[in-house]
Each structure stands twice: as structure tokens, then as C-alpha cells.
């Protein structure tokens, strides 16, 4: 299939004006196996029922209480094991990054001036490296942090790691302390891609406080993560659920599945005055098709742009 040329994210507050131009829309079920992927697919009754049944199964069979604590105790260790096993194979070519987050790449323009970007939960540096590779801006500096020291080693041992323009270090997003090298109120953009979902719900408030403190007034959070009832949630087996919508994968890493309403509550509604203005709160629903095995896979991702007030 051709590379996508437009965003697939539809803003939940502005469905009418979200562009579907350039999207591949499924008009007739008979053609579903004609392509590998479809955008904005409405779920049929069968898929809705499957989702409800799976969620009920999970709720009826959680991780036994006595086994739960280990996953709250040292979550970084499970990620260390993950990166020890996967090393740099986790590195992905994310062609969607530029499409979905053009604001990020504007910091790399030659005339953008002094810009500070922070990739939180950086893993192998899937945002930092493409951004620096494209950068024409001598005044762009990129921080990257992960609470897994193995992930940070993976970044630091990448031949493209450039300590004149970037700094990768260990830091826990839910920590009570900010990283010592980052001045409060100094960052233009914080990128959180598939990291917030790894936090336990009781850590969300601290994490949001931290990112709010580090951003400049008017600074931007670029957010992408798992949406409620994504395929990855529905296919969990028994004894994987820690709390509602919060699971443990086979390798011991944790994952939560959000709704747009929850993101709105967390970033905009939960404090008075609000910490962020929601500029985008969007759902990206995609049906991926395995044409040879005649399988249908319903993906749900959320995407947000939250501006510090």
C-alpha cells in the first residue's frame, strides 16, 4: 500500500472538520480484503460484542491479588529485560511522525531559533534520532529519558548519538523530582509516545505535574498512545488484568488503554485553573487486514496535542 499522506486521527471534539481527505475508507464490507488497511472504520455489531465479551472475561479473571505487587514494585526491571532481549531491533522507521506531528519538525527548521525538545519514555530513541537527523537548526537541543537504564544504553550506543546536540539519561516520569539537567519552564515540546500507558493510574497526576513544570508557558505536549478496546487490549488472555483497562503483558510490562474523555479530564479538567489547553484529542481507528489469512485487526490509537496554559 502507498505511504499515507494525511493524518488518520479524527478529533473527537471536531469530527466535522477533521479531514478524511486522502484516507482509505471502507465503503462496502465485500471489499474489505482488497487492501491491507482502512481508515476510520465503524465497528459492526459482531466486533462490538466481541469487545464487550473480552472485557468481561478479563474482569472475571484478573491477576491473582498475591501476584500483583511485583508489577508495581520495580516496573523498570521488566523494561530492562525487554531491551536486553530486543536491543536495537526495537528501532522503527516512523513515517507517520512527520505527518501527525509537524510541530515537532518545525523545531528542526534552520530559522526556528533556540528550541528544547524532550522525548520522555524514549526507548530506543524513535523520535529523537529522526528529528536530529532532519535538523537544520544549530540551536535545537534534544533530551531523551527513559526509566529503563538498558533503554538509555541502547540510545547512547547508537552511532548517531550526538552529545553536542542531545542528552539521553535515566529518569522516571512519575518521579517526585525533575531531571537535574532540565530547568523548570524551559522546554518547547515534550513528546510522549506509548509511555503514559505504562504508568499505573495512581502515577498519572505526578507525571502531568512534572511535564507541566518543565514546559515553557505555551509549550506543547505531543501525545500518542493506546485507545480503549484496541486489538492489543482485546486479545489479552485470562489473568492479565491488574485493574480495569490496565494489564500486564507476557513480559511483565504494563499497559493501560485510554479513552479521549480520560485524557481530557487528566490534562484539562482535573485542576482549576486547567494546566493545559487541548488543541487536539483525536482517535485513530484503523482496520488492518491480513489478506492471506483473512484476518481483521481493529486498531485504536489516541493522539493528543496539549498546550501549557
Ligand X SMILES: C[S@@+](CC[C@H](N)C(=O)[O-])C[C@H]1O[C@@H](n2cnc3c(N)ncnc32)[C@H](O)[C@@H]1O
C-beta of 198 vs 287, nearer to ligand X: 198
Q: Which stretch binds ligand X (CB under 6 A): 98-106, 141-149, 159-167, 291-299?
A: 141-149
User: Of 187-226, which residues contact ligand X (CB under 6 A)?
Assistant: 193-195, 198-199
Residue 79 lies near ligand X (rule: CB under 6 A): yes
Answer for which of 151, 155, 289, 300 binds ligand X (CB under 6 A) is: 151
What's the CA gap between 307 and 309, in Å, rounded?
6
Rounded to 5 degrees, what are φ and ψ at 150? Answer: -70, -40
Is residue 230 near ligand X by the rule CB under 6 A? no
Bond preceding residue 273 cis, omega within 30 of 0: yes
Scanning 135-203, the segments in alpha helix (DSSP H) are 149-156
Toward ligand X, which CB reaches closer, 146 or 188? 146
Binding mask 80-119 for ligand X (x = CB under 6 A): ----------------------------------------
Question: Smallest distance, Å, CB 20 to ligand X?
Answer: 26
**What are the two backbone dihedrals, phi and then psi, of residue 245, each rounded to the nearest 5 degrees?**
65, 15
- According to DSSP, the β-strands at 10-11 and 276-290 are antiparallel
Among 26, 97, 173, 300, binds ligand X (CB under 6 A): 173
Nearer to ligand X among residue 18 and residue 126 (C-beta): 126
Sequence-ordered alpha helix ranges (H) in 215-301: 231-234, 260-264
Phi-psi region of 252 (alpha: psi -120 to 50; beta: other; left: phi over 0): left
Instruction: Please select the residue that binds ligand X; options are 11, 39, 100, 146, rule is CB under 6 A.
Output: 146
Piece of the chain touching ligand X by CB under 6 A; list 65-73, 144-152, 230-238, 258-266:
144-152
Residue 28's SS3 state is coil
What is the three-class DSSP state of 57?
helix
Burial of residue 56, with CB atoms counted within 10 A of its CB: 0-12 exposed, 13-18 middle, 19 or more buried:
exposed
List interacting residues with ligand X (CB under 6 A).
79, 121-123, 126, 146-148, 151, 172-174, 193-195, 198-199
Amino acid at each position: 500500500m502507498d505511504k499515507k499522506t494525511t493524518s488518520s486521527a479524527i478529533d473527537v471534539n471536531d469530527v466535522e472538520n477533521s479531514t478524511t481527505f486522502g484516507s482509505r475508507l471502507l465503503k462496502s464490507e465485500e471489499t474489505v480484503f482488497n487492501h491491507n488497511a482502512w481508515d476510520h472504520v465503524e465497528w459492526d455489531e459482531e466486533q462490538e460484542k466481541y469487545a464487550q465479551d473480552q472485557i468481561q472475561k478479563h474482569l472475571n479473571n484478573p491477576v491473582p491479588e498475591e501476584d500483583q505487587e511485583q508489577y508495581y514494585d520495580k516496573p523498570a526491571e521488566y523494561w530492562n529485560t525487554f531491551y536486553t532481549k530486543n536491543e536495537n531491533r526495537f528501532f522503527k522507521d516512523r513515517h507517520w511522525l512527520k505527518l501527525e506531528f509537524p510541530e515537532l519538525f518545525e523545531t528542526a527548521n534552520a530559522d526556528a531559533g533556540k528550541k528544547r525538545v524532550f522525548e520522555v519514555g524514549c526507548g530506543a530513541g524513535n523520535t529523537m534520532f529522526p528529528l536530529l537527523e532532519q535538523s537544520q537548526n544549530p540551536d535545537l537541543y534534544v533530551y531523551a529519558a527513559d526509566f529503563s537504564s538498558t533503554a538509555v544504553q541502547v540510545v547512547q550506543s547508537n552511532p548517531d548519538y550526538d552529545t553536542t546536540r542531545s542528552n539521553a539519561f535515566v529518569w522516571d516520569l512519575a518521579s517526585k523530582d525533575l531531571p537535574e539537567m532540565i530547568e523548570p519552564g524551559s522546554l518547547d515540546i515534550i513528546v510522549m509516545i506509548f509511555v503514559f500507558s505504562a504508568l499505573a493510574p495512581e502515577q498519572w497526576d505526578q507525571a502531568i505535574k512534572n511535564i507541566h513544570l518543565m514546559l515553557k508557558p505555551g509549550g506543547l505536549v505531543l501525545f500518542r498512545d493506546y485507545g480503549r478496546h484496541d486489538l492489543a487490549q482485546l486479545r489479552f488472555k485470562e489473568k492479565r488484568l491488574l485493574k480495569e483497562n490496565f494489564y500486564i503483558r507476557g513480559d511483565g510490562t504494563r499497559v493501560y488503554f485510554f479513552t479521549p474523555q480520560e485524557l481530557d479530564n487528566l490534562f484539562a479538567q482535573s485542576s482549576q485553573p486547567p494546566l493545559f489547553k487541548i488543541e487536539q484529542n483525536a482517535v485513530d481507528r484503523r482496520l488492518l487486514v491480513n489478506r492471506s489469512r483473512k484476518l481483521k485487526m481493529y486498531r485504536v490509537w489516541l493522539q493528543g496535542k496539549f498546550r501549557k496554559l
